[in-house]
């Protein structure tokens, strides 16, 4: 068990990320604004935005920037859903082409107002990128689609290069952390995707620092391997604002290194584990091996 650090304690030195400045950062920000797109980098207040945007990489967020769920950890705006923008896939593809991307990551807000949970727009975006930029890999970080296998099938039929769905935390904390989600449902989605499309790598990630124990994290890792998940990410939870769940502990770089080692021993094909790791951080590295 890690020692609890009070929320008022300054962040440890290992949690300091580069400031979001630089020519590439400004250029990508202007491109996103001009195409009226959203990125999870901005909407979720990702600490790596300066690093990633200066490398001209970003995670595009489709289906608007208002989520129908109210998860206690997430900085994305909550409220009534926005109308679906069917031109959005074309604009995402245009942005990918302008950046000359070799690998793109697409995610979304939860759209529980839609029968397919937004799966149609994921499939359209995958196909739009492939048409505009042949050879560009596409990872999708999908919501749970309220457990709809039919919705997941729509995404799988578009053949993403990686199918990602985050478990986020340990089962005991789901009611506080992932409102509207169920741990078993997330595991079932990942296992189903692998059974239906065994050649598509599956991926999942967890945040540390919300009150989980190390044994609980290891148990989730074992569950993910039992579901044949290929790629694992582990990172430190950072509180977006005083309205969000508090940080109950800081995991050290040494602990993240231990989780990485154990992950490979369990059989994960690729593990990204570190304080500033997020689910799409260095995403292309996981499929280039």
CA dihedral over 176, 274, 77, 107, signed as positive or negative:
negative
Burial of 5 by CB count in 10 Å (0-12 exposed, 13-18 middle, 19+ buried)? middle
Closest CA to 64 of 79, 46, 47, 48: 79
- Centroid of chain to Cα 250: 20
> What's the domain count of the chain?
1
The contacts of residue 101 (CB under 8 Å, 6+ apart) are 56, 57, 133, 136
Report how far Cα 34 is from the mean position of its chain's Cα atoms.
24
Tell me if 213 sits within 8 A of 1, measured CB to CB. Answer: yes
Q: Give start and end residues of each alpha helix (H) in the chain.
A: 23-34, 40-43, 49-54, 88-99, 119-132, 149-157, 174-177, 183-196, 214-226, 253-266
User: Does residue 18 sit in helix, strand or coil?
Assistant: coil
- The CATH number linked to 36 is 3.20.20.70
Q: Is residue 144 part of a domain?
A: yes
Q: What is the pLDDT along the chain (289 residues), one digit of tens a residue?
A: 344 444 455 677 776 666 555 565 566 667 667 776 666 555 445 555 555 555 556 678 898 877 666 655 565 566 777 789 999 999 999 988 888 888 888 998 878 889 999 999 999 999 999 999 998 899 999 999 999 999 999 999 999 999 999 999 999 998 888 877 899 999 999 999 999 999 999 999 999 999 999 999 999 999 999 999 999 999 998 876 777 788 899 999 999 999 999 999 999 999 999 998 877 766 667 776 5
Note whether residue 134 is domain-resident.
yes
Do the domain assignments include residue 28? yes
Distance CA 127, CA 115 (A): 21
Does residue 6 lie in a domain region?
no
In a domain, 183, yes or no: yes
Q: What's 249-269 look like in SS3?
A: CCCCHHHHHHHHHHHHHHCCC
Strand 59-62 vs strand 103-108: parallel, antiparallel, or unpaired? parallel
Rounded to two decimals, the pTM is 0.86
Judge whether 5 lies within some domain: no
The secondary element (H helix, E strand) that includes residue 39 is strand 38-39
Instruction: Let me know if residue 206 belongs to a domain.
Output: yes
What are the pLDDT digits (tens) for 108-117?
A: 887 888 999 9
Buried b (16+ CB within 10 A) or exposed e, 191-218: bbbbeebeebbbbbbbbbbbbbeeebbe
| pLDDT per position as a tens digit, 195-207 | 999 999 999 999 9
- Bridge partners (DSSP) listed for residue 238: none
Q: Does 259 fall in a domain? A: yes
CA distances from 87 to 36, 81, 119, 147 (A): 11, 17, 15, 27
Q: Are 277 and 238 in contact (CB under 8 A)?
A: no
* Structural domain for 233, as ranges: 18-287
């Amino acid at each position: 068990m890690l020692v609890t650090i009070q929320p008022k304690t300054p962040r440890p030195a290992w949690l300091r990320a580069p400031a979001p400045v630089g020519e590439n950062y400004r250029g990508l920000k202007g491109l996103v604004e001009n195409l009226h797109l959203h990125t999870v980098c901005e909407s979720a207040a990702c600490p790596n935005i300066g690093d990633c945007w200066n490398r001209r990489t970003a995670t595009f967020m489709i289906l608007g920037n208002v989520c129908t769920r109210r998860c206690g950890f997430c900085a994305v705006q909550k409220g009534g859903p926005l109308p679906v923008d069917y031109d959005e896939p074309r604009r995402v593809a245009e942005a990918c082409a302008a950046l000359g991307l070799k690998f793109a990551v697409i995610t979304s807000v939860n759209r529980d107002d839609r029968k397919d949970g937004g799966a149609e727009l994921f499939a359209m975006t995958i196909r739009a990128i492939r048409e505009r930029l042949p050879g560009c890999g596409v990872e999708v970080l999908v919501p749970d689609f309220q457990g709809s296998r039919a919705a997941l099938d729509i995404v799988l039929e578009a053949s993403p290069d990686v199918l990602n769905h985050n478990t986020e935390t340990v089962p005991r904390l789901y009611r506080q952390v992932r409102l509207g989600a169920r741990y078993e449902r997330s595991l079932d989605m990942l296992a189903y995707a692998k059974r239906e499309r065994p050649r598509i790598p599956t991926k999942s990630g967890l945040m540390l620092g919300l009150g989980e124990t190390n044994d609980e994290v290891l148990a989730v890792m074992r569950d993910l391997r039992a579901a044949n998940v290929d790629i694992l990410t582990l990172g430190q939870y950072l509180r977006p604002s005083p309205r969000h769940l508090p940080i109950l502990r800081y995991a050290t770089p040494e602990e993240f290194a231990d989780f990485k080692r154990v992950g490979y021993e369990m059989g994960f094909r690729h593990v990204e584990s570190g304080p500033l790791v997020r689910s799409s951080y260095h995403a292309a590295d996981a499929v280039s091996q």
